[in-house]
Amino acid sequence: MKIGIIIKHNKKEAVEEAVSLLKWLGTKDVQVFIDNDLASQTGFKKGYNKNDMPELIDLLIVLGGDGTLLSAARLIGLNDVPILGVNLGSLGFLTEITRDEIYNVMEKVIKGDFECEKRMMLCTKVFRWGEEVAVYTVLNDAVVNKGTLARIIDLETKINGEYVTTYRSDGLIVATPTGSTAYSLSAGGPIVSPSLDSVIISPICSFTLTNRPIVLPDDVTIEITLKTPESDVLLTLDGQVGFPLKPDDIIRITRAANYLSLIKSPARGYFEVLREKLGWGS
């Protein structure tokens, strides 16, 4: 088995855990791949370009939090590489494995004794004057939002070519079920089981109070056109990557061609994570 490791850089605990994990994996019949940055921090003999790693590995271990895993998901792209997310802080929605559980879980993983959960992703493209100028794959959400100085923005929205409405709001969130517990939830969107294939549209602080979140099937094509002359508007991908938009830019969002495979925690289920993260019953 070929195993890659990616960590949250500049986090002392992540580097320490990576060192311990590398030593432990060194006693197993596996090949280990880490990026050049981690190799320099740990003294590991050989590192690789991070962008090349998805083509080289059978499994990716992520040491960090949900944000680190979101970055890893974009890195994996179209490669069918399962991800084992290890949270080094509090329990995450995506990084369900705790630091204390990692070695017991890895013993099972190396033997092939594990289950994966398939998570749908979104393909987001930006068109400017008819030309494709950007393309991204996201696990959580694609968000059109105004900058600090922009006023309310107008976002003409179509689904499968049919005009829905022009949202006058601070922005618009298009989320996957995985992303339903992220920014979309803060904007009043529903919690959708990650096992479902669907798309959620949630307006951010809509000027029209009757504009409510919508849940759509996964086979739709969503087109959002920036109809306001504001230049301080961004398309934000998974809350981590920003692309500046111009008036009349069209954002086209469809389901991505591939799923992301997350290795499930053998110790807890989705609703236990929900209870803990959202404080239900406390």
The 10 Å CB-count burial string (b at 16+, else e) for 1-11 is eebbbbbbeeb
State whether 73 and 160 are in the same domain: no
Annotated active-site residue in 35, 37, 58, 66: 66
Count of structural domains within the chain: 2
CATH assignment at residue 211: 2.60.200.30
36: containing domain: 2-115+264-278
**What sign does the CA torsion over 141, 144, 148, 153 have?**
negative
d(CA 3, CA 228): 47
State whether 132 and 181 are in the same domain: yes
Reading phi first (left if > 0) and then psi (alpha if -120 to 50, else beta), residue 214 is in beta
CATH assignment at residue 42: 3.40.50.10330
State whether 215 and 270 are in the same domain: no
Sequential pLDDT tens for the chain (282 residues): 899 999 987 788 888 889 999 999 989 889 999 988 888 888 887 888 988 999 999 999 999 888 889 999 988 877 889 999 998 876 678 887 888 888 999 999 998 888 899 999 999 999 999 999 999 999 999 999 987 766 889 999 999 999 999 999 999 999 999 999 999 999 999 999 998 999 999 999 988 888 999 999 999 999 999 998 877 899 999 999 999 999 999 999 999 998 999 998 887 788 888 888 888 877
Degrees, nearest 5: CA angle 77-135-145: 110
* Bridge partner residues of 165 (DSSP): 157
Residue 66 is among the residues annotated as catalytic for this protein: yes
Ordered alpha helix ranges (H), 63-133: 66-76, 102-110
Please give the model's pTM, rounded to 2 decimal places. 0.90
State whether 236 and 141 are in the same domain: yes
State whether 195 and 228 are in the same domain: yes
State whether 89 and 156 are in the same domain: no
State whether 25 and 128 are in the same domain: no
